[in-house]
């Protein structure tokens, strides 16, 4: 029988936080003296005077794995498309100090207390925003071929391990589903934010010639089976980016979206270049 860790003796720093905003949120982390938080490059927003920044090599945990272990940890991060390095923000002063991290696009910041999920949470590879120093940010390999070939996220998803707070970002509105044992939920692969380690995750073929060719929803969706908790986003960044790219005028001319006149409408509104 697996022995649960003793969370009375935490390895991660016990940080306090507050989330601000609605559509474009940011999280403010309050650091007591000698506390620290780690974050991905590009998520930093602002910090109080006296906080020290340090670039760390590896997965962000405090484990003394030696130089080779740090190289392996950093190499795993490359597989998820992230940088070799992470940034740590330390409060070396005697009073409390605040540091804030912002969402990269419209959506919600979700606080994840890893002690509530058995010390591990699995999420899509670009969802991680920041975490208490001591939380390990690694990779989760899929053991099923279907996930790797058709799952959208490939063989690799990100895993957050430890006994501290972590923060992930999701696009649009967030839905949280608690699945009972054997209960199944089917989700668009890009709409998955993350799930607890007890969730069984696989890929299913949509089925049917008409659905496959004309359905417009892709050939595969994710099948999530409980028990456990699943976090779902309404607006994956890939979907948002696809709509933006589709609306960019080609050859300097508008596509005439939103009008049944199309190109004729351009003539009527003054765009009569030839």
Helix (H, G, I), strand (E, B) or coil at 183: coil
Give the mean pLDDT per block of 10 residues along the chain (274 residues). Answer: 47 88 92 92 90 78 53 54 76 93 90 94 89 87 54 66 93 93 91 92 68 52 92 82 73 52 48 47
| Alpha helices (H) in the chain, listed in sequence order | 66-79, 145-150, 209-214, 237-247, 263-268
- The domain defined by 16-241 folds into Double-stranded beta-helix (3.60.160)
Position 143 scores a pLDDT of 57
Position 197 scores a pLDDT of 92
What is the SS3 assignment for 189-238? HHHEEEEECCCEEEEEECCCHHHHHHCCCCCEEEEEECCEEEEEECCCHH
Which of 52, 40, 136, 57 minimizes the C-alpha distance to 99?
A: 52
Q: What is the pLDDT of residues 96-139, one digit of tens each?
A: 999 999 988 888 999 999 999 999 999 987 889 999 998 988 88
Size (the chain), residues? 274
Bridge partners (DSSP) of residue 52 are 90
Question: 47, 78 in Cβ contact below 8 A?
Answer: no
Residues 6+ apart with CB under 8 A from 77: 59, 83, 84, 86, 137, 138, 139
Instruction: Give the CA distances from residue 88 to residues 54, 238, 255, in Å, rounded to whole numbers and listed in that order.
Output: 5, 28, 46
Domain extent listing, the chain: 16-241
Position 251 scores a pLDDT of 60
Kindly compute the dihedral angle of the four CA atoms of residues 75, 76, 82, 88, in this order, to the nearest 10 degrees: -80
Structure letter (DSSP) for residue 180? P
117 CB burial (10 A radius; 0-12, 13-18, 19+): buried
Residues 6+ apart with CB under 8 A from 249: 255
Distance (Å, whole) CA 189 – CA 233 = 10
Position 114 scores a pLDDT of 95
Helix (H, G, I), strand (E, B) or coil at 250: strand
- What's the pTM value of the predicted model, to 2 decimals? 0.75
Kindly compute the dihedral angle of the four CA atoms of residues 258, 219, 122, 62, in this order, to the nearest 10 degrees: -80
The b/e string for 126-157 (b: 16+ C-beta within 10 A; e otherwise) is bbbbbbbbbbbbbbbebeeeebeebbbbbbbb
Kindly compute the dihedral angle of the four CA atoms of residues 79, 80, 82, 83, in this order, to the nearest 10 degrees: -20
């Amino acid at each position: 029988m697996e022995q649960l860790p003793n969370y009375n003796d935490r390895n991660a720093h016990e940080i306090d936080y507050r989330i601000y905003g609605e559509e474009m949120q940011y999280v403010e982390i309050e650091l007591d003296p000698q506390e620290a938080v780690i974050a991905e490059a590009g998520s930093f927003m602002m910090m109080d005077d006296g906080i020290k920044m340090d670039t760390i090599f590896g997965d962000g945990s405090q484990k003394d794995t030696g130089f080779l272990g740090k190289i392996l940890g950093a190499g795993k991060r490359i597989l998820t498309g992230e940088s070799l390095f992470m940034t740590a923000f330390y409060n070396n002063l005697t009073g409390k100090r605040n540091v804030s991290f912002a969402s990269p696009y419209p959506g919600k910041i979700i606080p994840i207390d890893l002690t509530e999920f058995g010390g591990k949470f699995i999420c899509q590879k670009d969802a991680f925003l920041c975490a208490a120093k001591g939380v390990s940010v690694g990779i989760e390999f899929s053991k099923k071929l279907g996930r790797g070939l058709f799952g959208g996220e490939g063989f690799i998803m990100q895993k957050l391990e430890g006994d501290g707070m972590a923060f992930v970002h999701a696009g649009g509105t967030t839905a949280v589903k608690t699945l009972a044992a054997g209960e199944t939920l089917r989700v668009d692969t890009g709409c998955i934010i993350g799930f607890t380690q007890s969730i069984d995750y696989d890929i299913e073929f949509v089925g049917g010639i008409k659905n496959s060719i004309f359905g417009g929803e892709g050939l595969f969706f994710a099948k999530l089976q409980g028990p456990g908790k699943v976090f779902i986003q309404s607006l994956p960044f890939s979907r948002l980016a696809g709509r933006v790219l589709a609306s960019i005028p080609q050859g300097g001319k508008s596509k005439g979206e939103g009008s049944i006149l199309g190109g004729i409408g351009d003539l009527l509104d003054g765009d009569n270049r030839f």
